[in-house]
Every structure is written in C-alpha cells, then in structure tokens.
Amino acid sequence: MVLEKINQVGDIKQIPPEEYDTLAEEIRHFLVEKISRSGGHLASNLGVVELTMALHLCFDFPKDKVVWDVGHQSYTHKLLTGRKSGFDELRKYGGMSGFPKRKESDCDCFDTGHSSTSISAGIGLVAARDLQDGDEHVISVIGDGALTGGMAYEALNNASRLKRNFIIILNDNNMSIAENVGGMSEYLNGLRTNEAYTNFKTGVEQSLSRIPGGSHLANQLKKTKSGIKQLFIPGMLFENMGITYLGPVDGHDIGKLQDILNKAKKVKGAVLVHVLTRKGNGYVPAERHPARFHGAEPFDIETGLPLNKKKKANYQDVFSTCMVKLGQRNEKVVAITAAMPDGTGLKRFKNIYPDRFFDVGIAEGHAVTFAAGLAAGGMRPIFAVYSSFLQRAYDQVLHDVCIQNLPVVFAIDRAGLVGSDGETHQGIFDLSYLSSIPNMHIMAPKNKWELSDMLKYAVEFDGPIALRYPRGEAYDGLKEYRRPVEYGKSEVIYEEEDIALLAVGNMVKIAEQVRKNLKEIGYSCTLVNARFVKPIDTEVLDMLSADHKLLVTMEENVRSGGYGEKVMDYVVEQELPVKLLNISLPDEYVEHGNVALLYEEVGIDAQTVTKRIIEKYITCRKEQK
C-alpha cells in the first residue's frame, strides 16, 4: 500500500512519480470506505484528490499556506498532513472536523465552512506575508459554486492590485451542490468546453509562428487591448482585471497539474489557475448523483444507497409540500434559494413553477435584497435559507427589507443545532440577530402541522416575517393542538400551576418530556408553546405569573438576545411576582457531533432541564419561606 507510507506532511514527496496514480486510487478507496460509515462530503473530496496531491508535491506545508473555500473538500489535505487516524472519528463529537481547523493542524491556516471567503482570506495572508518580508506561497482553492458568492468578486477586485505572487485555484467541476447557476458559470462553461476555440487559438498561433515575424506579431497581439487578443487568451475576464489566467488544465492529471502550479509560482501578482475536475470522480454512484453525495449520510458502498432508511417526514419535506400548495393558491408566491434547492426542499416548487423559482447562487445577501425588490414589486417572496448562512445578510435584512417593512418571508431552515457540520453551521444565533431588527417578526412551529399553518400565515402577513425550524425529522406529536395562528399569541397546551414551561419551536417536544418527568415526581406544570418570539406574548406572561412560582423559558438559541431574555426584560420591567429560569444555549460556539449528544453537552436535553428546574424550584421555595 502506497498510502501506508503517508503519515505526516511532506511524506508524499518521497513517493516515486510512477506510484502517484496508485496513491490517488488508494486515497479514493480510503475516503469512500470511511465516509460510507461516518457520512460526510464525499463527492467534492473525490474530485480534488489529484489536485491536492499536486499541491502537496509543489508546495511546502505548513510554511506555504492553502485556504480551502468552504473547506468541505479538504479531506485529502487532512490525509496528507498526518490526520489519517482522525477519519475514524470524522465529524463525531470530540473527533476530527469535516472542515479545516487551525486548532487541528498547523497545515490548516484558515478556518472555513461558509462559502466564498478564501480569496479574501488569501489576500490577507499575502498582505501579512509582504509586510513581514515573508517568502511563503499563499494559495486559495475556490470552487465554481463558491465563485458565485459576492465576497469572491470583492476579493478578485482587490487581488488585481497585488505585486507579489498569490495563487487562486479555481476548482471547476461545473457543479455547486446542485447545478451551478448564473453568468460566471456560463462563462466558465465557455472556457471549459470550447475545445474548438482552444484548437483554433493554437492553430492561429502556430500559423503565425510559421510566417516571418509571426511569433513577434502573436506576442504583440497578446499584449494589446484589442478584441483580437481574445483569440489568444482564454480567461480574458480575469486577465482584464489584472489577474493572470492559466489553464484550463485537467484536474485529474497530476503531471499537468504540477507543471501548471510550478508556472503559477513564478507569476508576479495574482494568478488564477483554472482546474477542471469531476465531482465524485472514481466512485460511480457519486459521479452519477453528485448532489446526493455532496453531503452523504452513511451508505452501502456496493449500491450507494443510504444505510439508514428514512422513517418519518423531515421539516424540509413538509415545507416542500406546503410551498407547492401555496404556489398553486397564490400566483404571487415566489421562492428563492441561495444554491440550496435540495437541502431546503424547494426542488418540487422549482419543477412545478420554474418561472417563480429563483436560485441566485451562493449569494445570501443578494437573495435578501432581490426578495425585497420582488416584494416592492408586488410579489410574495419566500426566501428559504439555512439559519447560519443568513448571518451574512444581516444588513440586507435590516436595510432593504425591514426599514421598508416589506412583506418578505424568511423560511429559516437548519435553525438550532445541526450536528456534524459543527460550529460554522449551527443555526443558533438567528433569534438574536433577527429579533434586534425593528419591524421583523419571528415565529417557530412546534410540529409539522404548525409549520404549514405558520407558512400560510406568513404569506398573508403584511411585513417581514421569519419562521425557524430545525434540520431533520419533523415532530408529529401534539396533533390535536392546532388553534389558528394569531398575531403575537402563544398557545397554552396544558394548564396547571406552580411551574410554567414556555418553549420555542422544537423545544416544545423536549418540554413535553420535561413536564412528564416533573409530573411523575409530583409537580404541577403548565406547558406553553411560545409560537412568537417577536413580539412575545405579554398577556400570557401576565396570566402565568399570577398563579405560577416559576416560569421556565426554553429555546435552541444562544442566551444573548434570545426569547428568554425578552421574557426576562418584560417580567423585570413589569415587576411580575414570579421567578425565572432561562434554558438556552451558552453564548459559545458549539462544535460538531451527534445532535442528541450536543443537547446533553449544552444542557438542553430533557433530563438536564428537569434537574435544573427542580433545583431552581427548590431555591424559589426556600426564598419564599
């Protein structure tokens, strides 16, 4: 086994070139085998095996720096930098992250997770290097999908001013998670597929070189600003911006990759190396279904089918069905995604109403302002977006939607702990960052029927409104509690005395279990489904504080700026005679791991909450005596 010889960074340089192909094959085999058990980002990683090997052959890590955009494709890099054994605990709590982490290795120079940051970070590393007279190479590896994100353009705009070497590798597999979209994708398609053009260009160059003075003419033409230059230089867009373009090159040919990277090293200023790869390369199911194998659940290697059969509908399935119905009922309804049509459940809407569906690319900020424009133009836009990805559109939500009080619906998916993707992807801040914005309204459904009811309510609502729901299986309990959604009103599910649990969204399910535990040991306990986080239901707080000793707020969001703090503000301001317990996440980042385990870690599982309530209740009683 060649892979056995790879135990630390630099080991690949001892491997003879004739063994490179075998090593690539073994790495693929290793990745498929490990990810089939742990789950993870398979297709993107299989696509960059040779590219990563070439990088490690041409550069010296950790002295040289590579920034992986999104970072979901960094598995081979981890493998080549002494982290082989980490794959047994990949994405598990306490185990190796699925993304680059500075704390994991000195070969990871910059943490990523959200898209389109690598060129900015790379330029920062270059500036730091130059200010300190360093001589290391800085390389940013960005995918064609990530190149749809606005930050990447802002960074390219800046990169043109660089005087010293900075290498941008465009890993173009002609795919985002789903099909890639937009003008840049079209442009890259032109560069990658226009073989006739490439042949024509070479032909013209060769013909010129045969006539006296022809080579000189060819070189002169390359230097002009004229349109004829197009005949010689692909990647004109980058060239015209002052960024040298090299390629396209076959990203599965290690020799060619080494040649082009060695050329790129010598360029003064920013250079973009256009590398063509195939997502899922070498594993047939992933080649055929790159979207399904983008972020794969554990699967059977032979068939490629998931090992765990889905038993119940996900929130995303429920959302998908509701969207189709809403689209049918109201032709003003339009749906927007920022490159996540599959994950958010908008694919069916896209297929049925293609004209009212917009995939804007990995461009959350643009998506929000685009939605604002649609709303200002009389449509009812629903932007389905992961909680953590909406973080980067804060100003657009405030400046473009909320100041104008426009009726945009934010369907905030993956709200709460998402699990294996870890700290960059946990959706635990949205209640805080949205609720500080005037005019914004926020709801959270307790179960799948309420998601549907809230979505209908939101589409009719005249102003900005968000509903947040978690990743995965939709709760199908409490079916009989389905009173109509009313502005700012919560829903009292069980009414007793002493302790009142006020739970937000999916925490209602946990609160049910907590209530059961408390009742088993003799406590009397009310359960309220908060429904609205903004505005909070003050009437229910007035009512509960009259005949309860303790109000317990429960939410899957950080404490600062969350529901519990809003309740506390009100209770304190009104001097209500009741004690409070705030169950929320600590103001910290939560690492990767199984969600049930993370619940225990952060103390929002039913058992821990029950224990904390009993302790608090006992203290309250003592104080009252």
* Residue 279 is among the residues annotated as catalytic for this protein: yes
Q: How far is the CB of 418 from ligand DXP (least distance, A)?
A: 6
Name the 3-class secondary structure at 166: strand
Is 145 labeled as ligand-binding? Answer: yes
Which of 217, 251, 211, 243 lies closest to 232 in space, CA to CA?
A: 217
Q: What are the backbone angles phi and psi of residue 190, rounded to the nearest 5°?
A: -60, -45
In whole angstroms, give the CA distance from residue 316 to residue 470. Answer: 9
Residue 471 binds which of Mg ion, ligand TPP, ligand DXP, none (CB < 5-8 A, kind-dependent): ligand DXP
- List, in order, residues 6 or more apart from 238 with CB less than 8 Å away: 156, 244, 245, 272
Contact 271, 246 (CB under 8 A): yes
Among 64, 359, 421, 555, binds ligand DXP (CB under 6 A): 421
Residues in the chain: 625
Q: Which residue is nearest to ligand DXP (CB)?
A: 343
Contact 78, 332 (CB under 8 A): no
Among 77, 292, 356, 414, binds ligand DXP (CB under 6 A): 414
Among 27, 175, 384, 478, binds Mg ion (CB under 5 A): 175
Is 144 labeled as ligand-binding? Answer: yes
Spell out, one character per residue from 462 to 501, where the chain touches ligand DXP: x when CB under 6 A holds, - when not: ---------x------------------------------
Contact 468, 387 (CB under 8 A): yes
Among 144, 413, 421, 453, binds Mg ion (CB under 5 A): 144
In whole angstroms, give the CA distance from residue 418 to residue 608. Answer: 20
In whole angstroms, give the CA distance from residue 107 to residue 86. Answer: 15
DSSP strand pairing (270-276 vs 357-359): unpaired
What residues numbered 542-561 form the site for ligand DXP, per CB under 6 A? Answer: none
Tell me, letter by letter, the H, E, C secondary structure of 70-89.
Answer: CCCCCHHHHHHCCCHHHHHH
Query: How many residues make contact with ligand DXP (CB under 6 A)?
Result: 10
Nearer to Mg ion, 54 or 276 (CB): 276
Is 94 labeled as ligand-binding? Answer: no
Q: How far is the CB of 192 from Mg ion (least distance, A)?
A: 12
Residue 507's Cα: distance from chain center in Å? 23
Name the 3-class secondary structure at 91: coil
In whole angstroms, give the CA distance from residue 306 to residue 297. Answer: 6
Under the binding rule (CB under 5 A), the answer on residue 416 touching Mg ion is: no
Q: How far is the CB of 421 from ligand DXP (least distance, A)?
A: 5
Among 72, 83, 366, 446, binds ligand DXP (CB under 6 A): 72
Under the binding rule (CB under 6 A), the answer on residue 343 touching ligand DXP is: yes
Spell out, one character per residue from 162 to 181, where the chain touches ligand DXP: x when CB under 6 A holds, - when not: ---------------x----
Is 115 labeled as ligand-binding? Answer: yes
User: What does the DSSP 8-state code read for residue 193?
Assistant: H
Q: What are 456's strand-pairing partners?
A: none
Active-site residues: which are they?
279, 364, 392
Residues that bind Mg ion (CB under 5 A): 143-145, 173, 175
Residues that bind ligand DXP (CB under 6 A): 70, 72, 177, 294-295, 343, 414, 418, 421, 471
Binding residues for Mg(2+): 144, 173
Binding residues: 72, 113-115, 144-146, 173, 283, 364
Binding residues for thiamine diphosphate: 72, 113-115, 145-146, 173, 283, 364
